[in-house]
Amino acid sequence: MQNYKLGEYIRQRRLDLGLTQEQVCAGICESVTLSRFENGKQTPSRNRINAILQRLGLPDDRYYALVTPEELEIEALKKEIVSCNALKCVEEGFDKISRLEKIAKPDDQITQQFILRSKVLLGGLDKRYSNDERIQMLLQAIRMTIPDFQLDKIEDFLFTLDEMKLVNQIGNAYSLSGDNEKAADIFYRLLQYIRKHLPETVTSNRMLPLVLYNFARSLDLSQKYEEGAKVARYGKEACIKYGHYQVLHSCLEIEAECDFFLGKKEESVERYREAFYICKVMGYEDDLQIIRTEAEKYLNILF
């Protein structure tokens, strides 16, 4: 396997995409820092390198770099906070956020953005923030690295993985507030960005099924059942293609509900059945109950 200097690799990718240094590093680091990195004269912190790679649509796990003890501690705390969110350990998660706040530098916008995004995620579990507060906090977070960010111009920016997650969260926040038309527009624009800028990359593979599911869900809630079923099928196919199955059952459930309202009862039964058994195997008890309730309500089926 041939090895490349990372700075040279980034420079070539940037030139291939027709991007300036200012476009790539905006909100991440100064353009002079990126210039020095490309020329092998300076190495930014690991999280800044990862952010630059992600904006260029490149994988961020295929290079070697020395990291400081402080960087290792920050990365460890980030992983623990993500785990607390997944396990719904709210108080423990906020305790770890407090620890991260104490060691993160004020000018480390990437970590500060992660902190604010994580507060919204964890706070959503115990309802400590209103829908409007969540939206404003998420907009504040994304504008830490993209100061000019606007929801009606999503396609015009370059995003890191965390920035894409923030846009996805903003869409979900609008959906929770009842504005599913707005949510659908956000997911549509984010989907267009992913398809245009990140075809077949590792970052795209992680985000595509999730965004397709959320887009389908917002269409379903907007009673746009034909379009919702179509997007849910795309989501199902993306889960299978890329081997990311976390939202496979959810895509099937959305497709089943949309098919029911479209009068396709046989298809709806089959999709509910598939979603049910995936949830059963995976142990998703909450989602199992949702599927049981819908299948009985719509189709008089008992699982």
Tell which residue, 89, 184, 171, 104, has the closest CA to residue 134: 171
Task: Report pLDDT for 41.
Answer: 86
Range of the domain at 290: 198-303
Q: Quick check: 4 pLDDT over 90?
A: no
The reported pLDDT for the residue numbered 165 is 94
Q: How many CB atoms lie within 10 A of CB 49?
A: 20
For position 268, what pLDDT does the model report? 98
What are residue 45's phi and psi, to 5 degrees?
-65, 160
Residues 120-162 pLDDT 10s: 999 999 999 999 999 999 999 999 999 999 999 998 899 998 9
| DSSP, res 17 | T
Model confidence at 60: pLDDT above 80: no
| Mean pLDDT across 106-113 | 94
- Structural domain includes residue 267: yes
Q: Is residue 117 part of a domain?
A: no
pLDDT at 94: 97
255-267 pLDDT, tens digit per residue, is 999 999 999 999 9
Rounded CA gap, 203 and 190, in Å?
A: 13
pLDDT at 47: 87
Please tell me the pTM assigned to this model.
0.88
- Cβ contacts of 137 within 8 Å, gap of 6 or more: 116, 119, 120, 129
Residue 147 lies in a domain: no
End-to-end Cα distance, the chain = 52
Judge whether 136 lies within some domain.
Answer: no
d(CA 268, CA 34): 52
Report CA-CA distances (Å) from 202 to 58, 213, 233: 8, 18, 21
Average pLDDT in the 8-30 region? 92
Would the pLDDT of 203 be above 90? no
Residue 89 lies in a domain: no
What is the chain's Cα-based Rg? 21
Give dist(CA 242, CA 206) in Å, integer. 8
* CA 232 vs CA 52, 99, 139: distances in Å: 31, 40, 27
Report whether pLDDT(2) > 60.
Answer: no
In this structure, what CATH number is given to the domain that contains residue 297?
A: 1.25.40.10
Q: Are 209 and 191 in contact (CB under 8 A)?
A: no
**Does residue 85 belong to any structural domain of this protein?**
no
Tell me what the mean pLDDT of segment 243-253 comes to.
95
Residue 131 in any domain: the answer is: no
The reported pLDDT for the residue numbered 1 is 34
115 in any annotated domain: no
Total domains in the chain come to 2
Instruction: Tell me the pLDDT tens digit for each residue of 32-46.
Output: 999 998 998 888 888
**Whole-number pLDDT of residue 213:** 98
d(CA 77, CA 49): 19
CATH number for position 12: 1.10.260.40
Distances from the Cα of 191 to the Cαs of 5, 107, 198, 232, 263, in angstroms? 32, 31, 10, 13, 28
The last residue of a domain, from among 18, 40, 55: 55
